[in-house]
Amino acid sequence: MKKLIPLCSLLLFIGCSDEDLYVSPDGDIPQAVMIIEEETEIPSSSDDIFMVVEEQPSFPGGMEEWNKFLLTNLQYPEQAKSKGVEGRVFLTFVVQKDGELKDLQLIRGIGGGCDEEALRVLMESPNWEPGKQRGREVATRMQVAITFKLDGTKQLPTSPTRVIIETPDTEIESQN
């Protein structure tokens, strides 16, 4: 048994070059630790979808442009207005390397046509700026919540309705 330890250490010394090996004596028995100085990049397949990246995908022009896009394209569904449906619609989607939106899914909806309207507007969205990991563009899964909220005032059915659409950073008000 005493000869086995030096023999294993000798095999470890022979198998590694001088740059890869650091020997630290610990009492009577030497221990070998391999040191890797160069950062090796693990190749990723083109199908990898990242959940967290160094630089998140964004709507072209940023959040202010996203809010303008919602304001001009999102319509509060008549069915939801008449029934007083309010709440948040949660969606998930993948921003591809080229910025195209794929795999749009409803996570949680509120009904009354709001779920379909949120999906419709997201499908009409222009290509986003893709996420980046280590300086490279990568496919990234995103989540967005769109809040549908009526203004709360009692109005006649024929009068215009003010609709408030909330996004994480701002509150947009439109006249319908």
Write down the domain spans for the chain. Answer: 4-34, 49-175
Q: What is the per-residue pLDDT for 28?
A: 53
Q: Could you read off the pLDDT of 92-145 as tens digits, one per residue?
A: 999 999 999 999 999 999 999 999 999 999 999 999 999 999 999 999 999 999
- The predicted structure's pLDDT at residue 155: 45
C-alpha neighbours within 13 Å on the C-beta side of residue 158: 0
User: How many residues does this entry show for the chain?
Assistant: 176
pLDDT at 173: 57
What's 58's DSSP letter? Answer: B
Residue 36 has pLDDT above 90, yes or no: no
What six digits make up the tokens of 33?
């630790």
Can you give the pLDDT at residue 20?
46
Q: What amino acid occupies position 176?
A: N
Reference 118, options 149, 77, 156; nearest CA is: 77
Residue 68, classed as helix, strand or coil, is helix
Decide if pLDDT at 37 tops 70: no
> What are the DSSP calls for 109-136, one per residue?
---TTHHHHHHHHHHHPPPPBPEEETTE
- Assigned CATH class of 49-175: alpha beta
The pTM of the full predicted model, rounded to 2 decimals, is 0.63
End-to-end CA distance of the chain: 86
Helix (H, G, I), strand (E, B) or coil at 90: strand
Q: What is the pLDDT of residue 88?
A: 93
Please tell me the distance from the alpha carbon of residue 173 to that of residue 163, in angstroms, as a whole number.
6
Q: What is the pLDDT of residue 30?
A: 52
Compare 133 and 165 and report the one with higher pLDDT.
133
Helix segments in 38-109, DSSP class H:
63-73, 78-83
Q: Could you give the angle at which helices 114-124 and 63-73 cross, rounded to 10 degrees?
A: 120
Q: Please give the backbone phi and psi of residue 73, each rounded to the nearest 5 degrees, phi first.
A: -110, -25
Predicted confidence (pLDDT) per residue in 46-98, tens digit? 678 999 999 999 999 999 999 899 989 999 999 999 999 999 999 999 999 99
